[in-house]
Amino acid sequence: MSKKESSPSACFWESPETLAQLEVVRQWIGKHYKKYVLVDSPSCQTLSMVTLQLLQFQEDVFGKQAANPALTKLPAQCFMDLRPGGGLCHILGIAYKFKMEQGWYVLKVIYCLFLVFLLHISMSYITLQAEV
């Protein structure tokens, strides 16, 4: 995919520095979404892969190249917020919660999941921003 198509940066999400930062996200999810990740605790590499899939899906379905985008994309800063309790913590936590509630064993490509909880995440993020 060319740069002008705004594809997510695999180099960034797979870099040792980012994987180290994702440890904070992994620990936060383990604490606040404990019952949803207890059986299948994600690694930093898994969180990186899921984040890339979500970003790519957003670009494919809601980006500039989309034929008829139904919704708008979540702002990039939601995904780049790697602080404990930040945007990425909530996005990934909700993804694992939904996985468990649906009885899925593997959180592979989350395309259908993303559609279901996109509105919920948007509202949660707006609420979080209002509290800050």
Evaluate whether residue 21 is within a structural domain: yes
The predicted structure's pLDDT at residue 3 = 46
Evaluate whether residue 68 is within a structural domain: yes
Evaluate whether residue 75 is within a structural domain: yes
> Which residues form the domain of 46?
12-130
Evaluate whether residue 2 is within a structural domain: no
Q: Per-residue b/e over 83-99, b at no fewer than 16 CB within 10 Å?
A: eeebbbbbbbbbbbbbb
pLDDT (tens digit per residue) in 45-60: 999 998 988 888 888 8
Evaluate if residue 118 carries a pLDDT over 70: no
pLDDT (tens digit per residue) in 27-82: 999 999 999 888 778 999 999 998 988 888 888 877 777 777 666 778 888 899 99
Q: How many domains does the chain have?
A: 1
Evaluate whether residue 3 is within a structural domain: no
How would you classify residue 116: left for phi > 0, otherwise alpha for psi between -120 and 50, otherwise beta? alpha
CA contacts within 13 A on the Cβ side of 75: 9
Evaluate whether residue 121 is within a structural domain: yes
Whole-model pTM: value is 0.75
The predicted structure's pLDDT at residue 115 = 47
- Which residue has better confidence, 104 or 16? 16
Evaluate whether residue 101 is within a structural domain: yes
Evaluate whether residue 120 is within a structural domain: yes
